[in-house]
Amino acid sequence: MRRINLKDALGSENLVGRSMATDHLPKLVTLAFGGEGNETIIWDFRDVDLATASYIGGTFVPLIRMVTSGKLDRYFVFANLNEHCQDEFSLVCEAEKIAALCLREDGDGSVETSRIVGHLDPVYRDTLATVLSKGRVSASMVQGGNEKQTKVKRTTGLKRLTTLVSQGLLRRVKVGREYVYEATYN
């Protein structure tokens, strides 16, 4: 897991406009491609005061699309967005029909809350919520459902989990003879 403090990496606490996004995208791509494959990158907005929709659309949307298309073997988590940045990020993700995992951390880096922003069908959102609440699940564990979900067949649960992995929202790990699915920030 690698943490990138955006203010330190980009030299600005205000991330605004399409022109700044055009300047910063190559830096962000270089940062994303650095390190090892299959790792989680936490994009830390802790010291960012402002990030506009046009900036997010010009930087993080292309990066998320690289992940979902399979061109970039990474998992992205967006951490510590202030209320304004979170609103802008949510707006852009909804408009672009993509989903992202956002976290709020306390002072020592422990996760206080996690939230999915953007577009994600309700059944996938429920499946993801199940994994996030349990920490680690197999397809057979999803089969039972939770309070919000009706009971699903194993193949249906597996399809949902696989889709969430392809969107970069879950990680798949082989344990014994079975695959388990966990949050990308574990």
Q: What is the pLDDT along the chain (186 residues), one digit of tens a residue?
A: 899 999 999 999 999 999 999 999 999 999 999 888 889 999 999 999 999 999 999 999 999 999 988 888 889 999 999 999 999 999 999 999 999 999 999 888 788 888 889 988 998 888 888 888 888 888 777 655 544 545 567 678 888 888 888 888 888 888 888 888 888 886
The answer as to CATH 1.10.10.10 being correct for domain 122-183 is yes
Q: Quick check: do 2-118 and 122-183 share a fold?
A: no
Among candidates 160, 161, 166, 158, which has minimal Cα distance to 64?
166
Exposure string of 64-102, with b = 16+ CB inside 10 Å and e = fewer, is: bebbeeeebebbbbbbbbeeebbebbbebbeebebbbbb
Domain ranges of the chain: 2-118, 122-183
Instruction: Specify the pTM.
Output: 0.84
Fold classification of 2-118 is Transcription Regulator spoIIAA (3.30.750)
Task: Please give the helix or strand (H or E) that residue 42 lies within, else none.
Answer: strand 39-44
